[in-house]
């Protein structure tokens, strides 16, 4: 009988010791079980086996499976039974909660079990070889990798891992691959600079790799079939074991929208700059002085002409226009000094347009200058007055020419008056000497025409003299309190006698309307309006005169159904010598002085005159005079 070796009872022969030695070297756990005793008694194990099944230092050999191993693994008996009966190897992966080595909590472990049948001489299965391997790491690695990839794929930005000096793409998510217009697997293995040939990106890659410092490349424009897009690349170096750069983590975030928005803002700014440049050029080349004032009324910009007019240097301190005017002794059109507290731009500040206010200045060079001041409010989007544009025009030359013209007219009217008086006198003498009879009647008619024409020339000369008196400020006005209603009635009455083409309709307030003005001058104004109304409504047969009280003023208006006045001309009607384009339609007429004189008279009386008219429909001229004793 051969001696039996107890500890390694499962194996026979001299190879047993070598076998045992070998078994102890392998990482897998190995056990040999008895396949026939129905209890799967453990015949032999290696060191790894006890560790892998969590049996610690317990004795396993010689004990039935169920008794030797922890309860959870007893179910493996089914596997053993199946192999023992069928003779085919089988395998199973089993998870098990194993007590943590440190601290509380169980760690999930995973074991791969294999069971192989051992037969002696090819007969029935006598023993089972059980191999157990730790699968926990592999399972975790696979699971982890799946998790990483899923995360990577769903990142809202492109991410790639680049390796080596060539920055070869080792891994890229779909977002990153889309940049190159390829699938992620087609990108892998290619150097990034080939896949995305962009100069700025190549430079950043080179920089990050060389310095080991993170680098960025902004607004890298990539052209894919879907169009051009802009990206921001961030490259983070991954240190290698030798301290060098093993690879780069490349992150790409799309910035197309930001780049577009930035470009739009830049384009707007460029357009604004261009417009500002154009505006500056226009303002600079204007013959008028241009001043741009801010909300507070401070001059923030002026062109060269404006600066020269006021004797300012380009770097003069920003002040109010009236502060710049003050040293130039500004005077009003009638020669009175502009009161120090008067702000000629107050109306503009309140949102109105100031049209051509005349001022006289003593220029910095000591010369007298006439300027015309105009201004307009600049409104903000919300309608608020955010500033003003003021024009200052040097009208000294124009004024001089006007003065010369006035002198000329005054000379002419003087020279014309004496011969006219002579002609009139002789015509009257001739009239008296006309003999009765048909020839005499003809002569008388001719002399009548002479007298009529002489009277017309006299009226023209009178208008001219009147204008000259106005210019020199000597238009005589002797204001008294009088009833405008009575004066209106009387004037209309007188005109009814001479006007036979139109009926003069009169509507006058019953109460007296007392105003303080020169009655002769006011009658002159009304007479002029009546004459014009008749003259410029040749096809009509009526003219309406109305006088009514309107608050603290007397409101007189003269309406006709005549040819009307083009809108563009209405503002100029009251200027000297201005005749409208419609004047010729009304036949030979005056000099364009009547309304100018009327305007001067009304303004001097503290009132206002204006027109409302529609071409082809007629005109209404309004005069407002303050009622006496009711303030200014
Ligand atoms: P004149 O009548 O001598 O031309 P005015 O100063 O009285 O000069 O009038 C100036 C201009 O105003 C006229 O040339 C005419 O074009 C226009 N005008 C004045 N009154 C009327 C009116 N009632 N209807 C139409 N146009 C008028």
Mean local confidence (pLDDT), 293-320? 88
One DSSP character per residue, 548-578 reads EEETTEEEEEEEE-SS---GGGGGGTTSTT-
Q: Is 525 in the pocket of ligand 1 (CB under 6 A)?
A: no
| End-to-end Cα spacing for the chain | 152
Backbone angles phi, psi at 538, to 5 degrees: -60, -25
Sign, Cα dihedral of 549, 551, 557, 563: negative
Which numbered atom of ligand 1 lies nearest the CA of 563? Answer: 25
Task: Give the residue, by CA position, lying nearest to ligand 1 atom 19.
Answer: 532
Q: How far does residue 628's CA lie from ligand 1's centre (Å)?
A: 30
pLDDT of 140 strictly over 80 = no
pLDDT of residue 619: 97
pLDDT of residue 574: 92
Q: Is 590 in the pocket of ligand 1 (CB under 6 A)?
A: yes
pLDDT of 631 strictly over 60 = no
Query: pLDDT-based confidence at 16, cuts 50/70/90?
Result: low
Provide the β-strand partners of residue 586: none
Q: Percentage of the chain with pLDDT > 90?
A: 24
pLDDT of residue 105: 38
Mean local confidence (pLDDT), 467-496? 85
pLDDT of 442 strictly over 50 = yes
The Cα 545–Cα 502 span in angstroms is 12
Query: pLDDT-based confidence at 623, cuts 50/70/90?
Result: very high
Mean local confidence (pLDDT), 179-199? 81
The Cα 322–Cα 332 span in angstroms is 13
pLDDT of residue 472: 64
pLDDT of 144 strictly over 70 = no
Q: How far does residue 594's CA lie from ligand 1's centre (Å)?
A: 8
Q: Is 594 in the pocket of ligand 1 (CB under 6 A)?
A: yes
pLDDT of 17 strictly over 80 = no
Span of 283-287, 413-417, 526-530, 610-614 with lowest mean pLDDT:
413-417
Q: How far does residue 417's CA lie from ligand 1's centre (Å)?
A: 26
pLDDT of 147 strictly over 70 = no
Q: How far does residue 103's CA lie from ligand 1's centre (Å)?
A: 112
Q: Report helix, strand or coil for 173.
A: coil
Query: Burial of 563 by CB count in 10 Å (0-12 exposed, 13-18 middle, 19+ buried)?
Result: buried
pLDDT of residue 543: 97
Dump pLDDT digits (tens) for 313-350: 888 888 888 888 888 888 887 778 887 777 778 888 88
Task: Give the residue, by CA position, lying nearest to ligand 1 atom 8.
Answer: 592
Tally of CB atoms within 10 A around 170: 13
Question: Which one-letter DSSP state was computed for residue 627?
Answer: B
pLDDT of residue 435: 86
Mean local confidence (pLDDT), 161-166? 80
pLDDT of residue 241: 66
Q: Is 566 in the pocket of ligand 1 (CB under 6 A)?
A: no
Q: Is 592 in the pocket of ligand 1 (CB under 6 A)?
A: yes
Span of 218-222, 408-412, 576-580 with lowest mean pLDDT:
408-412
pLDDT of 2 strictly over 50 = no
Q: Report helix, strand or coil for 491.
A: helix
The Cα 116–Cα 42 span in angstroms is 14
Q: What are the b/e assignments for 102-131, b being 16+ CB within 10 Å?
A: eeeeeeebbbbbbbebeeeeeeebebbbbb
Contact criterion met (CB below 8 Å) for 188 and 172: yes
Q: Percentage of the chain with pLDDT > 70?
A: 89
pLDDT of residue 149: 65
pLDDT of 517 strictly over 90 = yes
The Cα 158–Cα 171 span in angstroms is 11
Give the Å distances, CA to CA, from 613 to 148, 201, 331.
Answer: 84, 73, 34
Q: Is 583 in the pocket of ligand 1 (CB under 6 A)?
A: yes
Task: Give the residue, by CA position, lying nearest to ligand 1 atom 23.
Answer: 533
Q: Is 560 in the pocket of ligand 1 (CB under 6 A)?
A: yes
pLDDT of residue 9: 42
Contact criterion met (CB below 8 Å) for 515 and 486: no
pLDDT of residue 471: 66
Mean local confidence (pLDDT), 605-618? 94
Task: Name the average pLDDT for the chain.
Answer: 83
Among 632, 525, 537, CA closest to 582: 537
pLDDT of residue 56: 66
Mean local confidence (pLDDT), 90-102? 64
Give alpha helix (H) positions in 433-518.
Answer: 438-471, 484-498
Dump pLDDT digits (tens) for 240-264: 667 777 788 888 888 888 888 888 9
The Cα 510–Cα 555 span in angstroms is 14
pLDDT of residue 57: 60
Mean local confidence (pLDDT), 209-236? 86
Q: Which long-range contacts (CB under 8 A, 24 or more apart) does 263-266 make?
A: none
Cα torsion through 201, 202, 204, 209, rounded to 10: 140
Mean local confidence (pLDDT), 438-451? 88
Q: How far does residue 580's CA lie from ligand 1's centre (Å)?
A: 6
pLDDT of residue 4: 37
Say which residue, 617 or 366, is predicted with more confidence: 617
Dump pLDDT digits (tens) for 57-79: 678 888 888 888 765 566 788 88
pLDDT of residue 398: 86
pTM: 0.43
Query: Burial of 315 by CB count in 10 Å (0-12 exposed, 13-18 middle, 19+ buried)?
Result: exposed
Mean local confidence (pLDDT), 204-214? 88
One DSSP character per residue, 513-529 reads -EEEE-HHHHHHHHHHH
Contact criterion met (CB below 8 Å) for 201 and 217: yes
Q: Is 325 in the pocket of ligand 1 (CB under 6 A)?
A: no
């Amino acid at each position: 009988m051969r001696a039996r070796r107890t500890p390694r009872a499962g194996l026979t022969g001299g190879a047993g010791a070598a076998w045992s030695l070998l078994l102890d070297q392998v990482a897998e756990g190995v056990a040999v079980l008895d396949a026939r005793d129905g209890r799967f008694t453990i015949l032999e194990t290696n060191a790894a086996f006890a560790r892998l099944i969590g049996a610690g230092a317990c004795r396993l050999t010689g004990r039935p499976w169920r008794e030797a191993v922890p309860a959870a693994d007893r179910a493996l008996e089914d596997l053993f039974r199946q192999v023992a009966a069928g003779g085919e190897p089988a395998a199973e992966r089993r998870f098990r909660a194993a007590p943590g080595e440190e601290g509380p909590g169980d760690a999930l472990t995973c074991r791969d079990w294999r069971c192989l049948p051992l037969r002696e001489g090819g007969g029935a299965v006598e023993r089972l070889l059980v191999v157990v391997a730790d699968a926990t790491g592999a399972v975790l690695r696979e699971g982890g990798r799946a998790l990483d990839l899923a995360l990577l794929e769903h990142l809202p930005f492109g991410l790639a891992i680049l390796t080596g000096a060539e920055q070869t793409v080792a891994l890229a998510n779909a977002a990153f691959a889309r940049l190159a217009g390829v699938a992620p697997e087609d990108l892998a293995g290619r150097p990034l600079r080939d896949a995305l040939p962009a100069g700025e990106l190549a430079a950043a890659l080179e920089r990050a790799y060389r310095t080991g410092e993170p680098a960025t490349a902004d607004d890298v424009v990539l052209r894919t079939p879907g169009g051009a897009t802009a990206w921001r690349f961030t490259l983070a170096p991954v240190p290698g074991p030798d301290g060098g750069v093993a690879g780069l983590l490349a992150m790409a975030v799309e910035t197309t929208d930001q780049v577009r928005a930035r470009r739009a803002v830049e384009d707007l700014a460029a357009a604004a700059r261009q417009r500002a440049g154009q505006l500056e050029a226009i303002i600079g080349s204007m013959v008028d002085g241009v001043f741009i004032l801010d909300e507070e009324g401070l001059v923030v910009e002026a062109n060269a002409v404006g600066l020269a007019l006021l004797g300012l240097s380009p770097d003069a301190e920003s002040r109010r226009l009236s502060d710049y005017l003050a040293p130039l002794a500004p005077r009003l059109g009638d020669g009175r000094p502009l009161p120090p507290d008067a702000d000629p731009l107050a109306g503009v500040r309140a949102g109105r347009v100031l049209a051509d206010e005349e001022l006289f200045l003593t220029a910095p060079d000591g010369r007298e200058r006439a300027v015309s001041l105009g201004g307009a409010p600049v409104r903000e989007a919300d309608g608020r007055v955010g500033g003003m544009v003021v024009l200052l025009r040097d009208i000294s030359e124009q004024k001089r020419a006007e003065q010369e013209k006035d002198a000329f007219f005054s000379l002419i009217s003087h020279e014309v008056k004496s011969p006219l008086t002579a002609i009139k006198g002789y015509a009257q003498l001739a009239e008296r000497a006309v003999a009765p009879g048909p020839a005499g009647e003809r002569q008388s008619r001719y002399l009548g025409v002479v007298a009529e024409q002489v009277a017309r020339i006299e009226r023209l000369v009178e208008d001219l003299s009147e204008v000259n008196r106005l210019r020199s400020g000597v238009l005589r006005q002797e204001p008294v309190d009088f009833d405008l209603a009575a004066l209106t009635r009387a004037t209309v009455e007188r005109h009814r006698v001479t006007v036979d083409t139109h009926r003069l309709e009169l509507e006058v307030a019953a109460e007296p309307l007392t105003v303080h003005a020169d009655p002769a001058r006011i009658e002159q104004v009304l007479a002029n309006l009546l004459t014009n109304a008749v003259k410029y409504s040749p096809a009509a047969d009526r003219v309406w005169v109305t006088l009514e009280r309107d608050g603290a003023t007397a409101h007189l208006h003269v309406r006709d159904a005549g040819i009307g006045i083009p809108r563009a001309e209405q503002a100029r009607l009251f200027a000297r010598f201005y005749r409208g384009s419609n004047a010729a339609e009304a036949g030979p007429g005056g000099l364009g002085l009547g309304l100018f004189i009327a305007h001067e008279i009304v303004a001097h009386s503290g009132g206002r005159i204006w027109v409302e008219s529609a071409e082809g429909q007629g005109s209404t001229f309004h005069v407002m005079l303050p009622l006496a004793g009711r303030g200014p």
